[in-house]
Amino acid sequence: MTISLEKIFFIYIFNNKRFFDVVPSNFFKNNEIKFVYDIVRSYLLGNRDAEVPSPKQIFEMISLEDREGIITKDILKSILTTQLSEYDEKNFIIPRFNAWILANKLKNGTVDIIEETRTLDTSSDLDSTIIIANRMKEIVNDITNTNFVQDDDLGSDFDNEEDHSQDKSSLKVDCGIPTLNHMLGGGWDVGTLNLIMASTSNGKCSIGETMIKIKNKTNGNIKEISFEDFYNFLSK
């Protein structure tokens, strides 16, 4: 992996903000790029509604963290001024970018699996071994997941675009709770059934009279119906 290619990936992520959820800082091997990316990524993940900061803002953010003055203005400029227009996005950038993500996911996941394998030496009963096996299965599922290769914007879900506008993959749905979105890597997975569990009287249920909004994917029409009617509709 060359520094020039990492700069391209860096700017590509800046132009496609959803990848900040997908790409951790350790994917970058160049220390300067990694340092700058980590600061910006931490800021954006901690402020979900924030826009990608300007070069001036980035330099100010770096100055607060870079006590040794490693990242100079010239270094930062060399990172931020990479022009994606000089490259074929479809045939050059995207295939290499996706391969880079998947390769790093596989490498990181392999290390995690090895660590889990070492815990087998201290596992003395079936239940604890099954727990380790399930953790390893989750790691494999995560590192082989290629959902990140699709980049369609879901757009707005309901009437108020300001409240419901999303900047997510077509495979994620904003659940409306920023912390939960972060934990889930962007929201609910499209096409999945999600079970929310909690102790009694913690607000996890909806009654039959609760009104919900559903959207017709064919014509875009939005209809408000009760939860009971919606359940009955699904049961037909």
- Within a domain: 136: yes
Count of Cβ atoms closer than 10 Å to residue 10 Cβ: 20
Q: What pLDDT is stored for residue 226 in this prediction?
A: 82
Mean pLDDT (10-residue bins), the chain, 236 residues: 92 91 93 94 89 91 88 92 92 93 92 89 85 88 76 40 45 72 74 75 64 77 80 68
Count of Cβ atoms closer than 10 Å to residue 173 Cβ: 21
**DSSP code of residue 193:** -
Pair (128, 53) in one structural domain? no
Q: What is the distance between the alpha carbons of residues 49 and 55, in angstroms, rounded to a whole number?
A: 18
Count of Cβ atoms closer than 10 Å to residue 187 Cβ: 22
Q: What pLDDT is stored for residue 207 in this prediction?
A: 66
Mark which of 86, 103, 129 sits at the end of a domain. 86
Q: Give whole-number Cα distances, 37 to 50, 108, 196, 234, in Å.
A: 16, 18, 34, 45
Pair (192, 119) in one structural domain? no
Domain limits at 231? 161-235
Number of domains in the chain: 3
Long-range contacts of 225-231 (CB under 8 A, 24+ apart): none
The residue among 179, 178, 11, 22 whose CA lies nearest residue 80 is 11
222 has which bridge partners? 215
- Within a domain: 31: yes
- Within a domain: 201: yes
